[in-house]
Amino acid sequence: MYQRVKNHATRIDAVADGALLKAQGVSYDISSDDAGGMRPDVGMSTGGAWLSVDEKDIDATRTLLDI
């Protein structure tokens, strides 16, 4: 099961962290209410974008993202 680990102001910020995780073999998911990236202005007003990872990867993610 995936758990939210970090909230980002924009999807682009979440994608940047996601790329770092992917390079280390950590799968992730990004959830945002921004019409799939087509309306970034809406996402910023609804809480940004959440980066989620599998429960087994939470400790590694916190280390990699320094959170």
Helices of type H across 2-57: 11-23, 40-45
Residue 44's pLDDT is what? Answer: 56
Higher per-residue confidence, 9 vs 52: 52
Q: Look at residues 63, 38, 50 and name the one whose alpha carbon lies nearest to residue 3.
A: 50
Q: Directed axis angle between helix 58-65 and helix 11-23, to 10°?
A: 110
At residue 47, the 3 state secondary structure works out as coil
CA 13 to chain centre: 8
Residue 51's pLDDT is what? Answer: 96
Summarised one tens digit per residue, pLDDT across range 15-48 is 999 999 999 999 999 998 767 667 766 655 567 8
**Domains, the chain:** 2-65 (3.30.70.1530)
Summarised one tens digit per residue, pLDDT across range 5-16 is 999 988 889 999
Report yes or no on whether pTM surpasses 0.75.
Answer: yes
